[in-house]
Amino acid sequence: MADGAISATEKRGAMSLALVFALRMAGLFMIMPVLAIAARHLDGFSPLTVGVAIGAYGLTQAILQIPMGWLSDRIGRKPVIVGGLVVFAIGSVVAALSDSMTGIIVGRAIQGMGAIASAILALAADLSREEHRSKVMATIGMSIGVAFAASLIFGPALVQWLGLSGMFWLAAGFALLGILAVLLTVPKVSTHAPRGDVSASFGQFVRAIKNPQLLRLDFSIFSLHLLLTAEFVQFPSRLVRAGLSAGHHWFLYLPVMIGSFVLMVPMLILASKKNQQRGYFMLAIGLFLMASLLLLVSDSLVALIGSAVLFFTAFNYMEAALPAMLSSLAPAGQKGGSMGVYSTCQFIGAFIGGSVSGLILGHLGTSAVVVFSIVMIVLWSLAALGLKVQSGLKNYTIRYRRDCDSDRLVRQLGSLDGVLEAVIFPEEKTAYLKVNDKQFSLDNAQQLVQGGSL
């Protein structure tokens, strides 16, 4: 694990996997801002079926994310990723050929069955050294943000040209491009990252559920994606009523996304520099509340633009901040289990947000959907009050080949400057450390683990 610049293989792995992830997420996301308008001609159209269709992928993703990660441990990452993209393409074709909302819902659910996020992140970990893994993961994370922004901007314009079925055919094409990227551009790898970094065993899953700080982050990502799908159940129709035709929604989304990114980046920088992650976390929740209250008092185009800027500034901030907070709070050697629970909560939130808000919209109207969102925001803020953010902490993984006294080694590692927690898994020949990075020396820990002298 020699330190140094990120290698060409690591760069290639990061960029190619980011492309695969972006293509798949674009296929999911680009339907969200247009479905409530473009599906009006389909049999069975109602606010409830729109909501279920928007969030259907979340249910199947939540069910299959961890099993697909486990399967990638057994048969390899690439076969699982390619298989998942094939399933995603099949779901897209089912939706494209459908003339009813039932078919769209089934297609979206099948899309979600191609649950490859855990396998992609595991392969990213396999392709990167510990000291550069965060850069690789950040690249993939940014690709998701870019895919989401592009979907909001181009989706409303593309649906006017391609129609709703054409959007699903385009999603199938994205899946095929993703398969080509996996087969042709993702580097070959003959090793696996330690399981504690990427895999969620049942024991880790249970321990992650019992951790109150991690549970607060799990509820946060649940709430975040619930609010997102609830937003797209009611927001496109508000724009139409305000005088902005469906084909011109990108006129709003383009400046909104640019503005939200401009506002979000300083929040991330200031939160890190001033060690105020918790304060900016609560500020973002406050922005969600302000966005919802604005929708309650006015349906004017100006109010909708202001609400959208506030909403997506908060959303983009949370999407970037929550994974970093999870990495900081996850116990040493349990990152995989913690991420498994986190991802499951994310997709359950997407499904419940779409389904419940669609049901509310059909019976009580758009204002009731906003009230539902406000209730969730209040619950989220109450849950977040006990959040204790630990800044300056990092997780390191060191693998070794020699046989050693595990009890003695873990005591020695725990005595090093900056080490807050040390865990040894002898069967993996892996040491997991949680450290204060300002006081910790990775070189000293590596020398100790490899049998050198300090």
- Residue whose C-alpha is closest to residue 242's, from 303, 297, 153, 291: 303
Q: Specify the pLDDT at position 453.
A: 44
Residue 96 lies in a domain: yes
Share of the chain above pLDDT 70, in %: 87
**Alpha helix segments (H runs only) across 330-405:** 335-364, 366-384
Same domain? For 384 and 402 the reply is: no
Do 31 and 81 reside in the same domain of the chain?
yes
Relative to beta strand 419-425, strand 393-399 is: unpaired
Question: Any idea what DSSP says for residue 43?
Answer: B
* C-alpha dihedral (133, 134, 136, 137), degrees to nearest 10: 120
Does residue 359 sit in the same domain as residue 297? yes
Of the residues 353, 369, 391, which one is the last residue of a structural domain?
Answer: 391
**Is residue 454 domain-resident?**
no
Same domain, 193 and 207: no
CATH, residue 19: 1.20.1250.20
CA 208/CA 330 separation, integer angstroms: 8
Q: For residues 230 and 209, what is the distance between their CA atoms, to the nearest angstrom?
A: 26
Query: Structural domain tally of the chain?
Result: 3
Classify 393 as helix, strand or coil. Answer: strand
116-169 tens-digit pLDDT: 888 887 788 777 776 676 677 778 877 888 888 888 889 888 998 999 999 999
Q: pLDDT tens-digit profile of 229-257?
A: 999 999 999 999 988 888 888 889 999 98
Query: End of a domain among 176, 199, 222?
Result: 199
Please indicate, yes or no, whether residues 320 and 445 belong to a single structural domain of this protein: no
Q: What pLDDT is recorded for position 1?
A: 40
What is the pLDDT confidence band of residue 52, given thresholds at 50, 70 and 90?
Answer: very high
Whether 247 is in a domain gets the answer yes
CA pair distance 26, 295, nearest whole angstrom: 27
Q: Answer whether residue 342 shows pLDDT above 90.
A: no
- Answer yes or no: do 185 and 166 share one domain: yes
Residue 264 lies in a domain: yes
Domain that holds residue 411: 393-449
Q: Are residues 278 and 374 in the same domain?
A: yes
- Judge if 125 and 271 occupy the same domain: no
Q: Is position 227 within any domain?
A: yes
Residues 23 and 91 in one domain: yes
Residue 403 domain-assigned? yes
The greatest distance separating any two alpha carbons of the chain, rounded to the nearest whole angstrom, comes to 73
CA nearest neighbour of 171 among 30, 324, 305:
30
Same domain, residue pair 232 and 139: no
* Cβ-based neighbour number of residue 17 at 10 Å: 27
Residue 38 identity (one-letter amino acid) = A
Residue 33 domain-assigned (yes or no): yes
Q: Which of 105-119, 136-150, 280-294, 434-448 has the highest mean pLDDT?
A: 280-294
Write the CB contacts of 10 (distance below 8 Å, at least 6 apart in sequence): 127, 128, 129, 132, 135, 136
pTM: predicted TM-score of the whole model, two decimal places = 0.80
Q: Name the domain boundary from 150, 183, 199.
A: 199
Residue 429: CATH number of its domain: 3.30.70.100
Residue type, 317: Y
User: Does 91 lie in the same domain as 155?
Assistant: yes
- DSSP H/E element including 293: helix 277-297
**Helix boundaries (H) for 185-276:** 195-198, 202-210, 212-241, 250-273
Give CA–CA dist 369/361, Å, rounded.
Answer: 6
pLDDT in tens, 362-375: 999 999 999 999 99
In this structure, are residues 236 and 246 in contact, taking their beta carbons and an 8 Å threshold?
yes
Q: Count H helices and E strands in the chain, helices first.
A: 17, 3
Q: How far apart are CA 285 and CA 311, in angstroms?
A: 9
How far is Cα 14 from Cα 34, in angstroms, rounded to an integer?
31
Using DSSP's 3-state secondary structure scheme, residue 54 falls into: helix
Backbone angles phi, psi at 431, to 5 degrees: -110, 130
* 210 and 75 within one domain: no
User: Whole-angstrom Cα distance, residue 333 to residue 198?
Assistant: 10
| pLDDT tens for each residue of 79-126 | 999 999 999 999 999 999 999 999 999 999 999 998 888 888 778 877
Confidence of residue 2 (pLDDT cuts 50, 70, 90): very low
Domain membership flag for residue 90:
yes
Each residue of 262-274: pLDDT tens digit?
Answer: 998 888 888 877 7
CA angle 414, 125, 225 (to 5 degrees): 100
